[in-house]
Every structure is written in structure tokens, then in C-alpha cells.
Amino acid sequence: MEALAKFKKELSSPKKIFITTHVKPDADALGSSLGLANYLIKKGHDVSVVTPTDYPYFLTWMKGNDEVLDFSKASDKPLATAKLEEAEMIFCLDFSVLNRVNELGEMIRKSKAFVVNIDHHQDPEDFADFRFWSTKAAATCELVYELIVEMGDKSLIDKEIAECLYAGIMTDTGGFRHPNTTKNVHLVVAELIDIGADSAQISNLIYDSNSVNRLKFIGFAITRRLVVREDLHTAYFVISKKDLKKYQSQTGDTEGLVNYALSLDGIKLAALFSEREDGIKISFRSSSDVAVNKFAASYFSGGGHKNAAGGKSTQSLKDTVERFESLVTQCQEELFHSESVTVD
Ligand SMILES: [Mn+2]
């Protein structure tokens, strides 16, 4: 309670505020950042939102998008750096370890500003002065909603803020299908709809805005790049740099692809390996009875949630996939039959 009181006191006078979120922001990352930014602006603060990298085109409809600075863009970097240096408060949203924001991480660590961490990932690093954190929350957007209510400011949530928050909750629950879709999720979302979030319109903006190239890429990946190992309850995609180039892949184009592998009958573990400029990026998904975050953390320098995690590898694409297959073979007992994996 003491930390919350201190946090409230910090916000009781106008502040210069810097909000950031993890690399390659998804709807929860950007929605929580912009939902919070729009609220803090209404409270009279001077707010900047800076992302460590670019993000998918299907998120650019959110209010405040045009003012977002991309730290990886040479033209935005000087202003973003100045905003961080002058900030009195820094909000870190939808990530719990500072290496999730690249170069910004060390700058935040060194900053004298009051640092706030709002997040729902496992094992948070101790870098914040105030942490509003719960792994029970399905999305950081759910926590931002709760924090605004906690501040006694529910009446300040308008249609645009509700839309940002709705988007993050919708996508982090896989369209209200994942095991994290709790009663509270439905209650929060009901409030957001009441305030004016249009559920059909938001799902249309996010899920039904494919380019022809993206749809063809998904078709290609399912036809040519899907490996199914029924004996291991596992299916995965292997996407090379060449594949991404051929389909003129944009940021966000591989998002959701891994779910097709998990949708197969009998498959409990799904992965997507994609070859990027800086190494192999890995997404893991699992059915509700399989914990994939520990596996990602132990073997692929990653982590995340029980049923959705990420990782990376500096080996070649081929070697990474071979290593993955042999690890799944070795860890079968632990992954698919253990009773002790029910961490949330
Ligand atoms: Mn999230």
C-alpha cells in the first residue's frame, strides 16, 4: 500500500512522463501504452510514448499512434533520447526484464526518474520504484484498466482509451479463447464495451486487415514449412530469411502463424522459428496442460507465459531446429506428463 500511495503522490502534480514497452510491440504492448498515455494526458501530464522498434501496421489506428516515437529509427532517436533524459516518471509496460527494450533498458536502469512497471509476465526483474504486476492478469491492458479504477478515475476512460485496452485484452487472450480468459477479463471487457469500445470493429481492424502477400505467405508456410511430429505432440514452422523476403514480409506478418500449428488435433506444443537479421526468433505456444515458458527460459534465452512464450537462438536455423527436436524428445516426460508444471 505504501508503494501505491507514493505512486499516487508522484502523479498528483503534472509530470514529464515517458512510456515504453517491449520490442516489436503487439496489441497489448501498444494498447496498454497508448491507453495509459491518453489517460495521463487527460490528467494534465506531459506524456511521450517511445517503442524500442517498429510495430505491425494493423495497430496504427489507436489514438496517439501518430505521436509514437520509434527508438530504432534514426529520425526519432534524438527526440526519444531527450524525452527519456528529461522524464520525471518512466512507465515500463508489458515487459518485466529490462533487456526486452534493447538499448533503452540500460538508460532506464541509470535514470533518476520514478520508474513504474505494469506487467503480467513471470519472474520480474527488480528495477521499478512501483510495480503493478500480476501473472493472474490476462493482459497488461487489464492491469492498466484496474490501475485507472484504483486511481478513482474510471470516469476518465473514454471511447478511445477503451478501444486501446480492449485490443490488448482481445489479442492476449487469443480472442477470448486461451485459458487466461477469466471472469474478470469478461467483466473488464464488458465495462470497456459499455464505455464505447466496438468489439466487432476492433477485431476487424486487427484480425481482418491482411494484405494479399500475408495471406499467400500463410498458405505457403502451412503447405511447405510446417513440420508435424505427432509422436512428440509437436508441430512447428521453419521460416527462412529468403521466405520472408519472397513474400515481402512486414512487421506483424508472422504473428499468429504459430497458432495454426497448435490448432492441429493432438498437438500440444507448437513453435515458429523465423530467421531474422539478428538471429533466430522463436515463438512457442502450448495447450493448457503444457508449460512452455520454463522450456523457453531453460534452453532458448526466453520466457513468457505458461502457454505462450518466446525465445531466441544465435545458431543457424537448421541447428536451432535440430536442437529443439532433440530437446523436446529429451524433455517429453517433463513437458507432457508432469503434474508439477502448473505454474501460472
Ligand atoms: Mn501482454
How remote is the CA of residue 231 from the centroid of ligand 1, in Å?
32
Domain for residue 165, yes or no? Answer: yes
How remote is the CA of residue 330 from the centroid of ligand 1, in Å?
30
How remote is the CA of residue 158 from the centroid of ligand 1, in Å?
21
Name the residue among 120, 133, 141 with its Cα closest to residue 185.
141
CATH of residue 247: 3.10.310.30
- pLDDT at 282 (0 to 100): 97
How remote is the CA of residue 257 from the centroid of ligand 1, in Å?
18
Q: What is the pLDDT of residues 22-41, one digit of tens each?
A: 999 999 999 999 999 999 99
> Could you tell me if 272 and 261 are in contact, meaning their C-beta atoms sit under 8 angstroms apart?
yes
Per the structure, the count of domains in the chain is 2
CATH of residue 26: 3.90.1640.10
Domain for residue 344, yes or no? Answer: no
How remote is the CA of residue 139 from the centroid of ligand 1, in Å?
5
Domain for residue 18, yes or no? Answer: yes
How remote is the CA of residue 321 from the centroid of ligand 1, in Å?
26
Q: Which amino acid is at 196?
A: G
Domain for residue 142, yes or no? Answer: yes
- Domain extent for 234: 212-337
Which of 188, 206, 224 is where one domain is finished? 206
pLDDT > 80? residue 57: yes
How remote is the CA of residue 32 from the centroid of ligand 1, in Å?
9
* Residue 102 sits in the same domain as residue 81: yes
| Residue 306 or residue 339, greater confidence | 306
* Residue 154 sits in the same domain as residue 251: no
* Residue 188 sits in the same domain as residue 233: no
How remote is the CA of residue 186 from the centroid of ligand 1, in Å?
16
How remote is the CA of residue 224 from the centroid of ligand 1, in Å?
30
* Residue 144 sits in the same domain as residue 36: yes
Cell digits for 29? 504492448
* Residue 221 sits in the same domain as residue 176: no
- pLDDT at 337 (0 to 100): 78
How remote is the CA of residue 307 from the centroid of ligand 1, in Å?
12
- pLDDT at 342 (0 to 100): 42
* Residue 34 sits in the same domain as residue 182: yes
* Residue 185 sits in the same domain as residue 247: no
How remote is the CA of residue 27 from the centroid of ligand 1, in Å?
8
pLDDT > 70? residue 205: yes
How remote is the CA of residue 252 from the centroid of ligand 1, in Å?
15
Domain for residue 156, yes or no? Answer: yes
Which of 206, 234, 265 is where one domain is finished? 206
Domain for residue 343, yes or no? Answer: no
- pTM of structure: 0.90
How remote is the CA of residue 338 from the centroid of ligand 1, in Å?
26
* Residue 178 sits in the same domain as residue 265: no
* Residue 285 sits in the same domain as residue 326: yes
Domain for residue 342, yes or no? Answer: no
* Residue 234 sits in the same domain as residue 151: no
How remote is the CA of residue 70 from the centroid of ligand 1, in Å?
19
Phi-psi region of 37 (alpha: psi -120 to 50; beta: other; left: phi over 0): alpha
* Residue 32 sits in the same domain as residue 59: yes
Cell digits for 324? 529443439
Domain for residue 298, yes or no? Answer: yes
pLDDT > 70? residue 338: no
How remote is the CA of residue 14 from the centroid of ligand 1, in Å?
28
* Residue 228 sits in the same domain as residue 148: no
Pairwise CA distance, residues 247 & 240, whole Å: 11
How remote is the CA of residue 223 from the centroid of ligand 1, in Å?
30
Q: What is the pLDDT of residues 87-111, one digit of tens each?
A: 999 999 999 999 899 999 999 999 9
Which of 163, 189, 206 is where one domain is finished? 206
Pairwise CA distance, residues 186 & 250, whole Å: 32
How remote is the CA of residue 85 from the centroid of ligand 1, in Å?
26
How remote is the CA of residue 138 from the centroid of ligand 1, in Å?
7
DSSP state string for 265-330? TT--EEEEEEEETTEEEEEEEE-TT---HHHHHHHSS-EE-SSEEEEEESS-HHHHHHHHHHHHHH
